[in-house]
């Protein structure tokens, strides 16, 4: 079974302190959904039209598990805390089996 991944890129974060409030809710929701944090805000070397700002990568045992974790009540509550000043490009991706 192919793994699932959440990939988020943050082109703009105008209020990093409010992002912390989201992270405090999102972390437990992701772990409860079976997610494992692989990368969060580490070094980035961007090419072409790449974005060097914050990148987050989370792995799940399956694509379906990744979708279910996003749709979970706990994660939806975390999304409400995501600050208005945060621009995010978020995707759920199916890995190669």
Domains of the chain, start order: 4-94 (3.30.70.100)
Low pLDDT (below 50) residues in the chain: none
d(C-alpha 95, C-alpha 24), whole Å: 27
pLDDT of res. 24: 92
pLDDT of res. 25: 93
pLDDT of res. 66: 98
pLDDT of res. 83: 79
pLDDT of res. 65: 98
pLDDT of res. 95: 96
Q: What are phi and psi of 21, to 5 degrees?
A: -65, -40
pLDDT of res. 72: 97
């Amino acid at each position: 079974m192919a793994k699932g991944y959440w990939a988020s890129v943050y082109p703009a974060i105008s209020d990093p302190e409010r992002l912390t409030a989201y992270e405090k809710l999102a972390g437990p929701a992701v772990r409860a959904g079976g997610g494992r944090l692989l990368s969060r805000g580490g070094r980035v070397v961007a090419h072409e039209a790449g974005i060097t700002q914050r990148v987050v990568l989370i792995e799940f045992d399956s694509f379906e598990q990744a979708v279910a974790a996003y749709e979970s009540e706990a994660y939806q509550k975390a999304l409400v805390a995501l600050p208005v000043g945060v621009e995010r490009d978020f995707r759920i991706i199916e890995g190669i089996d």
